[in-house]
Amino acid sequence: MRLLERRNAIQNLLFFIRWKLWLVILSAPGHLAFALRGWGDARAGIWRRLRLAWRLIRIHLSLQCAHSPMELLTIVEEVLRVPPSVDGVVVECGCYLGGSSAKLSLAVELAGRRLIVCDSFEGLPETSAADDLPGADPFRPGDFAVRLDLVRENVRRWGSLSVVEFVPGWFQDTLPRLNGQRIACAFLDVDLQESIRTCIEHLWKGVQPGCRVFVHDADRPPVIEPFEDATWWQRRFNTPPPSFVGARRGLGPLRRLLGFAIKAES
């Protein structure tokens, strides 16, 4: 029994070193560069960014996160880039344990905005054949289920709860409430094709010109296809699909799963 416990502890330590510490070490130069880019920024200067970068790293080491440190840092930087003259909230769809929400809440607080976090808090809904990829483990209903009170506690402990509003429930029921809401930045990390489609359907109109919608798992065709479906975009929004950066390839070695769509300037 004790041998088994010791083996489990060693396995956990190896997992921590391989997937967390190593990624954090690799992303340290990126976080430093992020802080230095605060030179001359009155709202988010070097010291504020250094403190923020340190807190982002601490969150990554303390909570299980389904993203890489550089992926979330990229979104944090975008939240700080959007000028205050652009009205709008930041929306996160799909929060799991709240690691990404806690990180985003810190950036949103610095930017003087609000963060709306939408999730079922019951994990993934039913999947469809469109979500299956040959050779990959299929998603199952209930994957990533975490109760709202635990997510709220994680955000309270590691982030800034006062700027966050939680919207619990299935997207098809909850996101219509955001119709008309102005959005300065969004992060969709929802794994399934139908979930992505629902998010675009209800959020896209509110995304402000020049602002970005980040998408996790941009390497997975089922997640990207709704962004490329010209017939659907024409029917739904009377426009061609938006330009999408990072489709199927991500944004580079430490941001392999991240991509973003840009709302054209009108």
Ligand X SMILES: C[S@@+](CC[C@H](N)C(=O)[O-])C[C@H]1O[C@@H](n2cnc3c(N)ncnc32)[C@H](O)[C@@H]1O
From the list 195, 203, 247, 257, which residue makes contact with ligand X (rule: CB under 6 A)? 195
- Cβ atoms of residues 138 and 131 within 8 Å: yes
Residue 246: CA atoms inside 13 Å, Cβ hemisphere, count?
Answer: 25
Q: Which of residues 28-47 bind ligand X (CB under 6 A)?
A: none
Q: Please report, as residue ranges, which positions from 63 to 92 form the binding site for ligand X (by CB under 6 A).
A: 65-67
Amino acid 75 reads I
Nearest distance from residue 101's CB to ligand X, in Å?
7
How far lies 185's CA from each of 3, 17, 63, 118, in Å? 49, 32, 23, 14
Residue in 27, 68, 74, 100 binding ligand X, rule: CB under 6 A: 100
Q: Which region among 21-29, 116-124, 223-231, 244-252 touches ligand X (by CB under 6 A)?
A: 116-124
Contacts of 129 (CB under 8 A, 6+ apart): none
Among 88, 191, 224, 246, binds ligand X (CB under 6 A): 191
Minimum Å gap between C-beta 93 and ligand X is 7
**What's the closest the beta carbon of residue 85 comes to ligand X, in angstroms?**
28
DSSP secondary structure of 181-206: --EEEEEE---SHHHHHHHHHHHGGG
Cα–Cα distance, 211 to 185 (Å, whole number): 6
Nearer to ligand X, 38 or 261 (CB): 261
Q: How many residues sit in the footprint of ligand X (CB under 6 A)?
A: 21
- Which H/E stretch holds residue 213? strand 207-216
Query: Which window, 27-35, 190-198, 228-236, 246-254, contacts ligand X (CB under 6 A)?
Result: 190-198
Q: Which residues ranging from 226 to 265 are in contact with ligand X (CB under 6 A)?
A: none
Q: Would you say 48 or 219 has its CB closer to ligand X? A: 219
| Site track 119-138 with ligand X (rule: CB under 6 A), x = hit | xx--xxx-------------
Distance CA 97, CA 148 (A): 9
Q: Nearest-CA neighbor of 199 among 142, 138, 120? A: 120
217 C-beta neighbours (distance < 10 Å), count: 23
Nearer to ligand X, 68 or 160 (CB): 68
Interface with ligand X (CB under 6 A): 65-67, 94-96, 99-100, 119-120, 123-125, 144, 170-171, 189-192, 195
